[in-house]
C-alpha cells in the first residue's frame, strides 16, 4: 500500500517543495556588512531596488554606486553620481557587466543589491564570474506585494536557480 503512495512523481514533487523551502530559508534577510568605501551594484528589474539602493547610499555616502541592467537607462534626476550600465538584459548579462567593471576597477569586494527572491541566483552567477571576489548580499524586501504574486516570484526564481546550477546561465 505504501509503495502506491510514494510514486516517482510524488517523490520529485516532494523534493521540489522541500528544496524550495530550503532555497527561501537560506536567502539573506538583511544586508551583509557594508563599508563606506564599498562598491555597490544595483541590479535593475524591480521597482523596489533603486529606492532601496538610494536609502543605502545615504548611509554610505562615500561608496561607489553602479546601476546595472536594461532598466537603468530610464534613470533621470538621480540624486547622486552613479555609473550606469544599461546594456545587459538578463541576470547573467548583469554578472558579465559586473565582472567587466570589477576587473577594470580591480575590485576584490562588491555589494549586490537586488530583491530578496533574486539575490541567491544573482550572487551565484556573479560569484561564478568573479570567484576571487568577496560578494556581500543586500536584498530588498518584497513589500507591498500580494502573497500569491510573492509565491509566484519565489517559485520562478527557485526554478531559474535550479536551471542555473545545471549550467544554463541565460534563463
pLDDT tens readout for residues 114-145: 999 999 999 999 999 999 999 999 999 998 88
pLDDT 10s digits, 94-107: 999 999 999 999 99
CB 116 within 8 A of CB 137: no
Q: Which of 162, 98, 100, 118 is nearest to 27 (CA)?
A: 118
The sign of the CA dihedral 8, 13, 14, 20 is positive
- Rounded Cα distance between 64 and 11, Å, is 47
pTM higher than 0.95, yes or no? no
- Arithmetic mean of pLDDT over the chain: 90
The sign of the CA dihedral 77, 83, 86, 90 is negative
C-alpha cell at 17: 517543495
Amino acid at each position: 500500500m505504501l509503495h502506491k503512495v510514494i510514486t516517482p512523481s510524488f517523490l520529485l514533487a516532494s523534493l521540489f517543495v522541500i528544496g524550495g523551502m530550503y532555497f527561501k530559508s537560506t536567502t539573506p534577510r538583511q544586508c551583509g556588512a557594508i563599508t563606506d568605501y564599498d562598491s555597490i551594484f544595483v541590479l535593475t528589474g524591480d521597482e523596489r531596488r533603486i529606492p532601496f539602493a538610494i536609502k543605502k547610499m545615504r548611509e554610505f555616502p562615500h561608496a561607489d554606486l553602479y546601476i546595472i541592467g536594461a532598466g537603468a537607462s530610464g534613470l533621470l534626476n538621480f540624486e547622486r553620481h552613479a555609473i550606469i550600465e544599461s546594456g545587459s538584459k538578463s541576470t547573467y548579462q548583469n554578472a558579465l557587466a559586473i565582472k567587466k567593471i570589477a576587473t577594470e576597477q580591480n575590485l576584490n569586494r562588491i555589494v549586490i543589491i537586488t530583491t530578496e527572491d533574486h539575490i541567491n541566483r544573482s550572487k551565484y552567477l556573479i560569484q561564478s564570474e568573479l570567484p576571487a571576489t568577496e560578494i556581500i548580499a543586500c536584498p530588498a524586501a518584497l513589500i507591498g506585494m500580494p502573497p500569491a504574486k510573492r509565491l509566484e516570484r519565489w517559485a520562478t526564481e527557485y526554478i531559474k536557480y535550479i536551471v542555473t546550477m545545471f549550467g544554463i546561465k541565460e534563463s
